[in-house]
Amino acid sequence: MKPFNISEIRKDFPILEQAIKGQPLVYLDNAATSQNPSAVLQATSDYYREYNSNIHRGTHHLSQLATERYETARKTIAQFLNVTPEETIFTSGTTDSINTIANIVGLSGKIGKEDTILISHLEHHSNIVPWQMLAERTGCQIRVIPVLDNGTLDLETYEVLLDESVKLVAFNQVSNAFGTVNPAAKMIKMAKEFGAITVLDGAQSVPHGAVDLRALNCDFFAFSGHKVYAPTGIGILYGRKELLEELPPFKGGGEMIKEVSFEGTTYNDLPFKYEAGTPNIEGAIALGTAIEYLTQFDKSEVNAHERDLILAGAEAVSKIDGSTLYGPDDRIASLSFSIEGIHHYDLGTLLDNMGVAVRTGHHCCQPLMARYGITGTTRASFAFYNTMDDVERFSTSLKKAVSMLR
């Protein structure tokens, strides 16, 4: 393991060295998109400069080199998730992954008019809308696991909602809006007692430590590269092998086939069955590099550092008169809050003028915002490259912005 030295880590992220409107950048929008270390930037550049070529199809040197790097990245990510490479499918991100699941499950006929899909009130729109679209096509019902006042899921009601009609349960491991950590293993086990397919959104959990999918025992898992120090436009869909082999493909074209004739087509083996067309090759290689970069640090040290950051941030917000913090005290990464009498957009704009980047709005969680009677929040979200100096700058700038708006 590499020693956790925050000063040295900061040097790996060149974007953090810049000034915004004359102020040193404090980047606290990591739940939306994280920054890329130099190793990832170099991996992207190397692909286009040194071996830019299509994969799996060529006998020439560049194609073979690109294929080797692409498949090595897949193996790295599979090992990180504790699954097999054939269960590890490259997609464009979490949204693409969940839409793929919804479509292949829908095409399989496993969900019909008399069936139910369970989702939670904490979900991002990408884990709501695809299931609504599936419900429109099949006539199935969607039920919602309620969220309690403290920002955690109502597990007692979840237990009541589970019955023989539930064919699929989808929820996030960590809430992007509130930082709530859901008891994923417990919820998956409960769902499987009724034979339901389980879908876990890991977009906000993967950036903050290794995820053991064998231990979680979910059927599907999705995450995005751009939230875990990799580029945009790349992500992962994990699917349990037996289920992926049983389900039909969703997209047709090159790579996902073995034999094609006008009379019919034979589909390829996993994972290629679900990777139609030329993929985001450099994105996959860069994602593998990002995972390698992240795993060189001791997980407990990273988690402790991030925990200190969000606790300090929460304390700073709580000292502002009229402030409301959303989510439980044991939230991770995302700190969502409102200030009485101040619109979140105005607050975010002033913070930006002071060099502090936060996210404002509903965070693609409009049903969740409606549950609390608000249109949105201000959200400061932390990564392991943030520092206590960042928190201090955030605190000072927040106080100044609030005084100006009042």
pLDDT of residue 1: 86
Cis, peptide link before residue 367, omega less than 30° from 0 = no
Residues contacting 31, CB < 8 A, separation 6+: 176, 204, 227, 333, 334, 359, 363, 379, 381
Strand order in the sheet with 334-339: 323-326, 334-339, 377-381, 359-361
pLDDT of residue 210: 80
Residues contacting 235, CB < 8 A, separation 6+: 90, 91, 92, 93, 94, 96, 97, 222, 223, 224, 225, 287
DSSP per residue over 104-128, as a string?
A: HHHHHT-S-TT-EEEEETT--GGGT
pLDDT greater than 90 at residue 209 = no
d(CA 373, CA 340): 13
pLDDT tens, position by position, 113-149: 999 999 999 999 999 999 999 999 999 999 999 999 9
What mean pLDDT, rounded, does the chain reach?
97
Q: Which CATH number fits domain 6-30+298-405: 3.90.1150.10, 3.40.50.410, 3.40.50.300, 2.60.40.420?
A: 3.90.1150.10
pLDDT of residue 157: 98
pLDDT tens, position by position, 323-357: 999 999 999 999 999 999 999 999 999 999 999 99
Q: Which of 342, 358, 368 is nearest to 393 (CA)?
A: 358
d(CA 201, CA 222): 5
Q: Which of 311, 336, 338 is nearest to 322 (CA)?
A: 338
Q: Residue type for 135, please?
A: A
Residues contacting 59, CB < 8 A, separation 6+: none
Q: How far apart are the first and last CA of the chain?
A: 48
Domain range summary for the chain, segments of one domain joined by + = 6-30+298-405, 42-294
- Is residue 364 flagged as an active site residue? yes
Place of tokens 């006998």: 59
Quote the tokens at residue 37: 């270390």
User: Which one of 140, 218, 364, 365 is the catalytic residue?
Assistant: 364
d(CA 65, CA 48): 12
pLDDT of residue 146: 98
Question: What global pTM score does this model have?
Answer: 0.97
d(CA 185, CA 171): 12
d(CA 22, CA 185): 46
Residue 242's Cβ-count burial label (10 Å; 0-12, 13-18, 19+) is exposed
Dihedral of alpha carbons 290, 308, 375, 136, sign: positive
pLDDT tens, position by position, 59-75: 999 999 999 999 999 99
pLDDT tens, position by position, 158-170: 999 999 999 999 9
pLDDT tens, position by position, 249-304: 999 999 999 999 999 999 999 999 999 999 999 999 999 999 999 999 999 999 99
CATH topology of domain 42-294: Aspartate Aminotransferase; domain 2 (3.40.640)
3-state secondary structure 262-323: CCEEEECCCCHHHCCCCCCHHHHHHHHHHHHHHCCECHHHHHHHHHHHHHHHHHHHHCCCCE
